[in-house]
Every structure is written in structure tokens, then in C-alpha cells.
Amino acid sequence: MYMNACQKYIAELLDEYGPLLGRQLLAMVNFNFSTKLTTLDGYISQMCRFSDFIKISDSKNIILAHKGDEPDYDIIRSFDVMIRFLPNVVWHGRTRTPETLRFLTSTVERDKEICVIPVRCGDEKHLSAYAADKYGDECELVIFLLDDKEQMKKLNVQCNRRFAVFEKGEVVFYK
């Protein structure tokens, strides 16, 4: 299938991260191409019809994936954290567990590398030890993506960190 530049970029994102939400893809396409598209429905329909992509619908979102790929909701949630830093994101990439992704932001003041680590209930002690060992005091910024705010008390980390929680479908950050 012939793909235009936007569709190629969408395919690259799906190759790197796996299944992503349609609104996440829209945000990245608009950012990458400096456009103001309101929907990717036409592009996504063509990709599903003429290539190996599939649209998965949940209650209010669509997820675009390669056929046979299962959504990794930690990646999807981590991607939402990164999108909150647009337009300052200059580089991003998927990483190994327990981190899900890293990205680099650039502002007038400085560049900053940010790591996102999803924290499931019960993993707080393990991930506290991981962060203490891996990052110490010299890390740029680690964002712990929590299931609920109560987990903040259970994470004992000294590195430069923030907490992120989804509240009413939006990412909310805490110190």
C-alpha cells in the first residue's frame, strides 16, 4: 500500500510503541507535521483496509494496532504522559522494563531527559529499590505513573521524581 507521510509516521509510531490511541496518534501527527488536523479517521481507515492494521474500539477510544498486536496499557498511559510535554519533546523512544519510555525535552533554560515508570499496586517496594539503584541523585527526572494517589506514600525514592495519576481521563502530576 502506498502511504502518505502522515501514514508512514503513524506506522513508525506503531512499530516503536505498539498499539496506541487514535487521539495520541493525532497529537503526534499534528506536532510532527505542524498541522491542525481534527481527525485521522480517513488515514486510519485506509491503513486498516489496505494494509496489516486493525482498529480496536473500547468504550470511547479507538486503538490502532498491527494485526495480532495486543495493547500494552502501560505504554498507552506512558505515552499520554509524554504528550503532556509537547511541544517541547525533541526525542522519544521505548525502553526496557520497568521503564516504558524515555523522552528528551528542550526548553530555553535546558534540556531534560525524562523516564516514565508505571507502578502497579504492590510493586512500590521493588520499584523504589530499582530507582534508588539506577538513578541515585543525578537523574534528570523520573515520572512514576501510578494507579492511585495512595501509592505516593509507598514509594521511597530520593531521585528527582514526580508522580502522575490519571484522574477523569487526564494526566495529573504531583511532586
At residue 38, φ and ψ (nearest 5 deg) are -100, -15
What integer pLDDT is reported at residue 138 of this predicted model?
Answer: 55
From the candidate CATH numbers 3.40.50, 1.10.10, 3.40.1350, 2.60.40, the one assigned to the domain spanning 73-174: 3.40.1350
What integer pLDDT is reported at residue 137 of this predicted model?
Answer: 55
What integer pLDDT is reported at residue 139 of this predicted model?
Answer: 62
pTM value?
0.91
Between the two ends of the chain, the Cα-to-Cα distance in Å is 47
From the candidate CATH numbers 1.10.10, 3.30.930, 1.10.3210, 3.30.310, the one assigned to the domain spanning 5-66: 1.10.10
What integer pLDDT is reported at residue 155 of this predicted model?
Answer: 87
Consecutive 10-residue averages of pLDDT for the chain (175 residues):
93 97 97 96 95 87 95 95 96 90 92 92 87 71 91 85 89 91
**Domain edges within the chain:** 5-66, 73-174
Same fold, 5-66 and 73-174: no
* Rounded Cα gap, residues 20 and 28, in angstroms: 11
